A and B are shown apart, each in its own frame.
Chain A
Amino acid sequence: DQQVKQNSPSLSVQEGRISILNCDYTNSMFDYFLWYKKYPAEGPTFLISISSIKDKNEDGRFTVFLNKSAKHLSLHIVPSQPGDSAVYFCAASEYRGSTLGRLYFGRGTQLTVWP
């Protein structure tokens, strides 16, 4: 049962424009969300995270929005650059005490940024 879903397998955006990657989850116990970027032949690279007590977190060109009532989060990349072309994974977790628990991943969205 896929508890984290990324329904768009691919997204193509022109350089300089905004990229919006979406993610939905089903488990209301999730309280921490992360986005990872992955290039071929490399492990996932952490991008940005958000706690369920917030609805927005920003880091440079990357902003994550969380809508708990809709169980939906999105990653905005502005402006998009060709180097952003990669597979983006959404992940969710339950904190167990103070420890980050297992991560549940979506299937990923392939972002292509063209010049």
Chain B
Amino acid sequence: DAGVTQSPTHLIKTRGQQVTLRCSPKSGHDTVSWYQQALGQGPQFIFQYYEEEERQRGNFPDRFSGHQFPNYSSELNVNALLLGDSALYLCASSLAVGQGTEAFFGQGTRLTVV
């Protein structure tokens, strides 16, 4: 059973460019969340998708947008990249039913903006 998979694993972009990161959730999971982890910090919530709609959003600018597809996979798009967007981007999947659900994380995409 494949866990959460993210692509690519590493990416280098130039300031001002746009980037798209991809995530496939754990089999059977229908909810995908995205987090940004800066060096030395805990992951910060960007947004969560369920049933192809953004359900919750953290304190991130509109340059950060996302999408969820009918097969539950998801994309994170970041426009007009800034140097400060350099971070590890984590995708987490969970199941939108029942108590005791956990969020499982992928290995992350390391984005470097130069």
Contact = CB atoms under 8 A, between A and B. Distances in A.
A99 B100 contact: no
A49 B102 contact: yes
A77 B92 CA distance: 25
A43 B53 CA distance: 24
B105 A102 contact: no
A43 B44 contact: no
A34 B90 contact: no
A65 interface: no
A106 B40 CA distance: 11
B102 A34 contact: yes
Contact of A103 (B92, B96, B98): B92
A42 B55 CA distance: 26
- A interface, by DSSP: helix, strand, loop or mixed? strand
A102 B102 contact: no
Interface string B1-25: 0001010000000000000000000
Nearest to A89: B42
A107 B39 CA distance: 10
Interface in A52-100: 89, 91, 95-96, 98-100
Contacts of A34: 102-103
Interface of B: 4, 6, 31, 33, 35, 40-45, 48, 50, 55-56, 58, 90, 92, 94, 96-108
